[in-house]
Chains A and B, each alone.
Chain A
Amino acid sequence: MRAALPKLASAVLVLVVAASITFFVQLLLPGDRATVILNLQNGRDQEWPAAEVAAVNTRFGFDRPLAVQYLDYLAGLFRGDLGDSYTEFRPVTEVIGAQLWPSVVLTVGALIVAWVIAVTVTVLTVRRGRFLPGLGSSFEAFTASLPHYWVGMLLLVAFAVQIPIFPVIGGDGLAGTVLPVLTLAIPLSGFLGQVLRDEFDKVLDQPFITTARTRGMGDTAVRLRHALRHAVLPGITLSGWALGALVSGSVIAENIYGRPGIGQVLVSAVNNRDVPTVAGIVLVVAAIYVIANLLVDLAYAVVDPRLRTS
């Protein structure tokens, strides 16, 4: 418990720094915020007369000194107020909240499915004769090299257009989630599988495995009950990184399948220079990432009893 406090403090620091960086980077973006807002509201791309720009500046508080705007923003963060979106006149928390769940379903689902595929392929193909291991590792090398958007395109055309098993416009229902999850899970399973395979291979050489076998344990049982536990450790570390990569990948999946989610919100917010929304999303993603890391540490402790006592 005592170890948790400094971790928590540094987690908060990470979040604040992430949000601050986003706040300031957005000020580097070309053009003036009032102009962008006026253009967006009217579907134009021009310059606006000074009077109208000034009105927007006052309304959103852009004419205050930068330091004041920043501190105001930080203060809001600690209150749980992420500000209002420039384009939707709604609180950012609402904008993000409404689309957060589909993204969470997508990323967590993809991670789980990736693990299932990786574990299945590895357990079934490591060290089983001459042909299978090569096949298994080729499969993993192939899937790891697949670009997400390519897999997404092909799955969409194969299973929603040519053979209409799944709906083309998925929305966030269950049927519409299968293909996006597969799109993200397949390449990730290749990565996880490669790492898992290497570890698994090394573990199968360990003395305790031989002991288990001499005690009469069947091969599958040995693999599942003894070897797997040890082999998954590097994979768990990788999962922490994977969650971050999945967030990036979810932007692509949402783009291809027209699926709602924060990836999509992010892209349009960056395009619209909606500073509060972008900063809000960065914050949310960073928070998820920090939580994911804590969970990874927990998972380690669960899988590896040696770490529990430390």
Chain B
Amino acid sequence: MAATQEQTYVGQAVPRKEDARLLTGRGRYVDNLSATGMVHAVIVRSPVGHARITRVDVSGAKAVPGVVAAFSGKDLEGAYGGLPCFWPVSDDIKMPAHLPLATDKVRYVGDGVAVVIAESRAAAKDGADLVELDYEELPAVTDVEEALAAGAPLVHDDVPGNKCYTWALTGGDPDRAFAEAAVTVKERYRQQRLIPCPMEPRGVLCEVSAQGDITVSTSTQAPHILRTAYTLVMGIPEAKIRVIAPDVGGGFGSKVEVYAEDMVVIACALRLGRPVKWIEERSEGCLATIHGRDLIQEIELAATQEGKVTGVRVRLTASMGAYLQAVTPGIPLLGAWLYAGAYDPVGYDFHCTGVFTNSTPTDAYRGAGRPEATYAIERAMDKLAAAVGKDPVEVRRLNFMRNFPHTIASGLTVDAGDFDAALDRALELLDYDGFRGEQEARRSAGASKQLGVGFSTYIEMCGLAPSRILGALKYGGGGWEAMSIRVLPTGTVQIVSGTTPHGQSHATTFSQIVADKLGVDVADVEFLYGDTAVSPTGWDTYGSRSLPVGGTALWHASEKIIEKSRKIAAHALEVSEDDLEYRGGRFGVRGTDRGMHVKECAFEAWHAHNLPEGMEPGLEVQYTYDPPNFSWPSGCHVAIVEVDTETGDVQLARYIAVDDVGNVINPMVVEGQVHGGIAQGVAQALWEEAIYDADGNLVNGSFTNYLVPSAAEVPSFELDRTVTPSPTNPLGVKGVGETGTIASTPAVINAVLDALSPYGVTDIEMPASPERVWRAIHANQ
């Protein structure tokens, strides 16, 4: 049983420990680091989407003053192996070779072909301009369905039909559900391609020691995964590799990745014997950093006449891009269990085809598979409501799963939830009846600006992930997490973390957990992370896992500290352990005023003059936790939009989010995560789309035309929470990093379609740009 402790910090909006350096310009992002003798790398990239390389000549670059070296892909062949994909999802998967620099063919605009190294970044850029690349251009294919068509250009000569894999999941009896359905709804949606755009572009700095050890500082979410990956690709023993994630300026999944540039930089540093730094430019990053989404979804619901969903059938055609990155094939499948959302059909049938195209590789972008699933089911539920003549709220309520733990048709078990509670609270904040009245008034007045409301009663699975399940899914790694706690001789505490933050406030929230468990001041807890030479091997930060997996490991590590301290205290106080009562960090002897604090136990453990027989000195522990289940945040998001029917402009007028993320460690941090997630999901609905032309050019690969929203485009958000603690972990937490992005996109599109329903508009592609909205209105007039 868990020891008793005071809750002084957990649940409180403790101000962030991270802020002081970041607010005063003392952040240590990769580009702020330098090393003695450092040189700068610039990568030369393919300007075409598909071509056979006939010649790469770097001699012009070498003649530029300041240029130290220049290498083509052929020059570096043998310096490294191919980039890894850790998730061969099926037996039929094709995993073509992916060299860090292309040698035979380039397969997307941005594919690297050469590298120039110089004393300054400017000289390296001058040199890169003089690298000559000759090629025979080949026809390109960037549309995922065109890539599957007969006669399509082959992205990889050894992958027939560009088909990467097929993958299926069934539960219950879907065929029967559809055969017996009174009502069916069949929809087709396009999840446009997105560019993650963390504000810090990527960067890598590699230093080589006299012994040949390498230290790589890189803008990553995953230093531990990278250490292993560097060994696999570079052939350097893992023990000789140190990976440091310094301050990292956002990631959103795009930095859980094994990138070509890391390998090129390491290879050059080893070859030249000098530190080498590469910093991505933004427009370069739009090509060279992974993209998200890009799939076609077909979803079919079987239902009763009343609108009770009995079956869900899903067919996905998902773009891998030109190559498989670390977990590319698995991303659409992370949504495979969620296409029935918070509802409860008896039959479930999911199928996905992965396809290569001449485009930037896709991989994890905030939510990774789950926003896509939520979008499809939440839009289809509105269609079902229309088909059975019910309100969207009513049809959702009719279908909620209610008894927990609840095994869903796709086979996993949802541990806790109360979907009605979140919906009720959201409706209350919205004033649903009042809203419908105002909407009707505008409609009957024929106002040019029409109102719409959209709902998303989502559920998601995060806290990645139980290692046994990952193994069953052919994933190449585990999902556990490791945490160490050191109570130092003078009573301050260090957490040494296997997960690495890049904006999520781990230093603050993890310190809150430990401060409460051990009865110390939160200011006396330090958080060490992001350096493989310091931290215990872990699985890093993605999939909203840090708190439900890492935080749970930390809770258990704290218990181990208390357990050992209890023995030390009992021995020192000459009482039995049963006579001790633990509260607020102190072991009190029942019925007396005698006692001893954990901090004093740490001092005893350090000098070790009088420890119980056989006890190891010191008060340092590590705990490694493998979760038995995913965690399951849920909630209700509501978007209210105002559509200008004359211009097609959509304004987000209000946004309400009621989330159930279980127990909350720091409400300020939780709300911040939700705000940011909402903005990203809204951006998919209204503004963002990476557009390729038929020749494979990314036509909007910069911040001038890829529309990341500013403060002027979004409103303040109205947030509330309901709480059903997760019974799966002792903290009762569920994770919050992705909920906003997962929930918000369909809420906004449902709202746009609600506003446009008097105009006979029943579908709109994302992003719902003014042009698309205007055309949709006028198509039916």
Partners in one complex: no
